[in-house]
Chain A
């Protein structure tokens, strides 16, 4: 019984998701909301503003440098969390916990 309810719910969610996808603009179409003045500014000014040929690197590390800084911090925090869970350390007197 609960299986059938799950299937019905999944089909409902699938229909909603497919309806949302059918409203999306086509891949590569020029009049999407993403193609606004920001993209134009990046495409025209990336080389003269940063001197980097790879526009993705120019955006990630120059225009959006704060994002990458926080991303690096997130990676660092994740590793600290993994160490807290997995590593066995010693306390200040050198005794194993």
Chain B
């Protein structure tokens, strides 16, 4: 697409959309939202960039290899966070019982492992959206 108005508007709006997605991910334990919705919003901002500026320029920003890596490690990250409970001598995916500091309720760091797990799953969902889009849009010869 070569529409001038579209390109300028997208480059104006997209930073705020990305900010909103990251906000929803990081405040998943304080306000409505969470990993899945925030990840989808963050992924959609990258998809919108690729849609307007072309798939090649979108791939320059976030390469497909990086997205696959983020996706695989997002799934592994959850399991690794669960191993914290085992390392501290309790059961898998234990949060408070494993002695993780919970923080003051209402602050950004609160909820122990919840923030870290949400961050990993959110990044994974964002990369899932992007890889799905790239797989669907790639030219077949």
Contact = CB atoms under 8 A, between A and B. Distances in A.
Interface of A: 47, 49-54, 56-58, 60-62, 65-66, 68-69, 72-73, 75-76, 79, 82-83, 86-88
Interface residues of B, number: 39
Where chain A touches its partner, the secondary structure class is helix
Nearest to A83: B135
Contact of B82 (A49, A52, A57, A65): A65
Given A52-B29, A58-B29, A66 B105 contact: no
Interface of B: 28-32, 34-35, 71-72, 74-75, 78-79, 82, 93, 95-96, 102-106, 110-114, 117-118, 121, 124-125, 128, 131-132, 135-136, 138, 140
A13 B7 CA distance: 51
Contacts of B31: 53-54
Given A65-B93, A68-B121, A51 B103 contact: yes
Contacts of B74: 72
Contacts of B96: 49-51, 62
Contacts of A52: 29-30, 105, 110-111, 114
